[in-house]
Structure 1
Amino acid sequence: MKHKLSCLLIDDDRDDQEIFKLALQDVNEEVYCLTADDGIKGLQMLQTEENFVPSFIFLDLNMPRMTGKDCLTAIKSNPMLASIPVVIYSTSSDPKDIQDTKELGATDYVVKQYSIASLKEILKRYFN
């Protein structure tokens, strides 16, 4: 079954992954969402899953093995992946992180929400 909208969430926090997927299901149950626990796994998925080209990549900044900024740099430097919009999804609201990631090619920057209702409102911008 081919999905029109899809996303890849790269985030090392399993609870955040679950909350994101639950909110996304409520916003649009037809969105196909895969998760990766860190940037290295996320890049491997993007490079090996031939039939999976996500509509959006949501990327955490603070992760083990590879930071979100390093992962973003790798995505944007790969011609096969560079056109995929990357939304930074982080607990950091530091203006420097926001500026740095925009300069590295991030499409948008979303600060993680503590309310699932707030997260749903944000996800509607991308998947409604």
Structure 2
Amino acid sequence: MKNGKICFLIDDDIDDQEIFTLVLESVNPSITCITASDSIEAVQKLTTEETFNPDYIFLDLNMPRMSGKECLQEIKKIDRLKEIPVIIYSTSSEQKDMLETRALGASDYLEKQSSIVELKNRLAHYFK
């Protein structure tokens, strides 16, 4: 693993995972991106692997089995992760989703971008 920070991306869309990981690598190659394909897998990893403490968590909202909002609530119950920023990463531009996730403890809300350049600009905001 690289010596830099760890970003944990929780997203059921494999294409979105690949794009996010590639763009993040171009923004800051020292950051390692670890992915989970759904919320249940992510919560299991975060609760059972006590040494896994990502520096950032990016979380999709619309996922099968357990929604992003439910996942956010589970993450916030884990004491060692309380201070880790959880950024919602979703296609939803609904004000309601933004307000609800903030109320549940999300640090920020990043709408998925159709342009790789725009995603790169947004990720540079967090990782430069």
Q: State the TM bucket, normalised to the shorter chain.
A: over 0.9
**Deviation at 1:77?**
1.8
Query: How does the TM-score come out when normalised to structure 2?
Result: 0.95
Tell me whether 1:16 sits opposite 2:16 in the alignment.
Answer: yes
Q: CA deviation at 1:50?
A: 3.3
Deviation at 1:51, TM superposition (A): 3.0
CA distances 1:48-106 after superposition (whole Å, capped 9, x unpaired): 33332111000000000100000000111221222111000000000000000000000
Letter in structure 2 aligned against 1:61: L
Partner of 2:101: 101
The whole-number CA distance in structure 1 between the counterparts of 2:5 and 2:45 is: 17
Which residues of structure 2 form unaligned runs of 5+? Answer: none
The separation in 2 between residues aligned to 1:3 and 1:61, in whole angstroms, is 29
Report deviation, 1:2.
5.2
Q: Do the aligned partners of 2:47 and 2:78 also contact (CA within 8 Å) in 1?
A: no
What is the distance in 2 between the residues matched to 1:101 and 1:27?
A: 26
Greater CA deviation, 8-17 or 72-81? Answer: 72-81
TM-score by length of 1: 0.95
- State whether residues 61 and 69 of structure 2, in contact with CA within 8 Å, keep that contact through their aligned partners in structure 1: yes
Partner of 2:126: 126
Matched with 1:56 is: 56
The ranges of structure 1 where at least 4 consecutive aligned residues each deviate by more than 6 angstroms after the TM superposition are: none
Aligned-residue identity in percent: 57
Alignment size in residue pairs:
128
Aligned to 2:29: 29
* Aligned CA-pair RMSD: 1.1
The residue that corresponds to 1:38 in the other structure is 38
Q: CA deviation at 1:6?
A: 0.9
Contact persistence 2:56–2:85 (CA under 8 A): yes
